[in-house]
Chains A and B, each alone.
Chain A
Amino acid sequence: DAKTTQPPSMDCAEGRAANLPCNHSTISGNEYVYWYRQIHSQGPQYIIHGLKNNETNEMASLIITEDRKSSTLILPHATLRDTAVYYCIVRVGGGNAGNMLTFGGGTRLMVKP
């Protein structure tokens, strides 16, 4: 799986948009970008994923650059409950149950009042 690079930490004011960047310059054509987050002492929670088009769901938006070498996760209106470690992971997608996730260091997002 391609390696990702994320800033170790970020702060965001409550109610503002949180933009979390991720670099994945060695991503290959069949690899998706996945975002998970881990709130303290809980298991990781799936947020969103995409291949090359921008994606949006009820939790967040995912913006992938045209060359697919980087992406940004956007939490449009951050709340205190969004304080967590956010992991950007690239891996081959689809229904292959054998593809585990390799976690990097992630970004520790602190949402402040």
Chain B
Amino acid sequence: GAVVSQHPSRVICKSGTSVKIECRSLDFQATTMFWYRQFPKQSLMLMATSNEGSKATYEQGVEKDKFLINHASLTLSTLTVTSAHPEDSSFYICSASTPDGLLRFGQGTRLTVV
């Protein structure tokens, strides 16, 4: 079946540095990918919609200059957390829509900023 691969699965970085998270659709092309964020014991919150070849669409309250999204190909979207701070520590999850309209999710990335 359609697989979405996310890397890395966990990362620890120092405050003030930037971290890049990759999301790949392994066996299908995805013109649209979505990035979610999840805090402990809470549900997933949509951060942004990533469109191949164009600018991402951010949800209200999400800083586009802090969470840079690039969707340069039909199989890869990246989320870069710039100048990370401890409050950015969270579980980040990407998803992509398969050709038959199902949304498949990556394994998630646990980001810890120290």
Using a CB–CB cutoff of 8 Å, the interface residues on chain A facing chain B are: 36, 38, 41-46, 49, 87, 93-106
How far apart are the CA atoms of A101 and B97 in the complex, in Å? 10
Q: In the bound complex, how far is the Cα of B42 from the Cα of A103, in angstroms?
A: 10
B105 and A44 within 8 A (CB): yes
- Contact call A95/B43, Cβ cutoff below 8 A: no
**Apart from A43-B6, A44-B44, A44-B93: 8 A-B pairs, beta carbons within 8 A:** A95-B97, A95-B101, A96-B101, A97-B32, A97-B97, A100-B46, A100-B95, A100-B103
Across-interface contacts of B91 in A (CB, < 8 A)? 41
Interface residues on B, range: 20 to 34
Stretch of B13-21, B62-70, B75-83, B106-114 lying at the A interface: B106-114
Report yes or no: B43 in contact with A101, Cβ–Cβ below 8 A.
no
- B104: CB under 8 A from chain A? yes
What residues of chain B lie closer than 8 Å to A97, measured between beta carbons?
30-32, 97, 101
Binding site for A on B (CB under 8 A): 4, 6, 30-32, 34, 36, 43-46, 49, 91, 93, 95, 97, 99-108, 110
Asked, given contacts A95-B100, A97-B32, A98-B49, whether A45 binds B105 with beta carbons under 8 Å apart, the answer is yes
Tell me the bound Cα distance from A75 to B26 in angstroms: 29
CB pair B93–A43 under 8 Å, yes or no, is: yes
Chain B residues positioned under 8 Å from A105 (CB to CB): 43
- Given A97-B31, A100-B34, A43-B108 contact (CB < 8 Å): yes
Minimum CB–CB distance from B90 to chain A (whole Å) comes to: 12
Complex: chain B residue closest to A92, CB-CB: B101
State the CA gap A48–B46 with chains docked (Å): 21
